[in-house]
Amino acid sequence: MSRTTPIHRNRSKPTTRVDNTMTTSAVCANTATFLGYLNTGKERDTESGNDYFGARYYASTMGRWLSPDWSAKREPVPYAKLDNPQSLNLYAYVFNNPLIHIDADGHIIDDNALKDNKDYQGWKKNYLSHKGAQAQWDTLNNNKDLTVTMKWDSKGSRSVTDGYQWNGQGQLTAATVTLAAKTGDVNNKMSSDQGYVHGADISNNSDRQAYVMAHEFGHVEFAQTEIGHQELTFGQAMDEKMKASVAQLGMKEYLKQSWVGPVQDLLNMMGHEHELEADQRGWDVIGGKN
């Protein structure tokens, strides 16, 4: 899409903010998924009867984890929130309230699969060298109700934020950020026409890598807002409707439908605005100046 002027809406900005399912950018993309809040979606080990979450096992018969929560850096009580006594119990599942919360993998920002990935660790080091980035990371990482899974794409040219899951109250509980190696290289040009007004001006790889991480986390933050939840799930619903219509009618007849053009224009407009907001958020996080 070729829109260069942001669309401003009255939104209350939360402490955290993400990308969309409809963007067609060459640098960043994502999809949204709404899952039922009574289903953790995890595999049950048939021998032990326990559920595997990735970071640890959960015993549904007891409603408890089989091992305490832990973090990559040493903390007295990992991920605890002192204003919530339930968070001090490292064996409790989602604050002992599974009716409104889910835990995607027993962890928070989960990049354990990339611990030996030197490229990712270099990006992360560059990102965390910025004061604003450390604050953004800590806010997401300390959110006990949210798991952000980090992935790496060594050949791709589009970083992707997707895998969104919300509970029955519209609270974001999971998201996946896949960083594409080429997006951290300033030779892979960003265009302001696609929403990268600030990103297009970054001239060194270390700042580009920090910006891309902050940008993608900005998409996660947006998905935590009420308007983000509404727009992303709307986009997903429209995307599914379009796919179903193409399958039923065929592309030629599908394109004749009067609703297709207006809906696509709306999705493109929303997607472009999401990119503009994530671009601004990424720029602010790494300490950019307007």
Tell me, yes or no, whether 254 and 117 share the same domain: yes
Range of the domain at 29: 1-38+102-290
Tell me, yes or no, whether 80 and 117 share the same domain: no
Tell me, yes or no, whether 10 and 93 share the same domain: no
Tell me, yes or no, whether 108 and 215 share the same domain: yes
Mean of the per-residue pLDDT values for the chain?
78
Q: Decide which of 79, 98, 117 is a domain's last residue.
A: 98
Q: Decide which of 49, 77, 98 is a domain's last residue.
A: 98
Q: Does position 284 have pLDDT exceeding 70, yes or no?
A: yes
Q: Does position 31 have pLDDT exceeding 70, yes or no?
A: no
Task: State how many domains the chain has.
Answer: 2
* pTM check: above 0.85: no
How, if at all, do strands 172-180 and 147-153 pair?
A: parallel
Q: Decide which of 69, 98, 127 is a domain's last residue.
A: 98
User: Which of 165, 202, 183, 142 minimizes the C-alpha distance to 37?
Assistant: 165
Tell me, yes or no, whether 266 and 181 share the same domain: yes
Q: Does position 235 have pLDDT exceeding 80, yes or no?
A: yes
pLDDT per position as a tens digit, 38-67 = 345 566 676 777 776 666 777 777 777 777
Give ∠ CA 160-163-164 in degrees, rounded to 5.
110
Task: Spell out the SS3 assignment of the chain.
Answer: CCCCCCCCCCCCCCCCCCCCCCCCCCCEECCECCCCCCCCCCEECCCCCCEECCCCEEECCCCEECCCCCCCCCCCCCCCCCCCHHHHCCCECHHHCCCCCCCCCCCCEECHHHCCCHHHHHHHHHHHCCHHHHHHHHHHHCCCCCEEEEEEECCCCCEEEEEEEECCCCCEEEEEEEEEHHHHCCCCCCCHHHCCCCHHHCCCHHHHHHHHHHHHHHHHHHHCCHHHHHHHHHHHHHHHHHHHHHHHHCHHHHCCCCCHHHHHHHHHHHHHHHHHHHHHHHHHHCCCCC
pLDDT attached to residue 81: 61
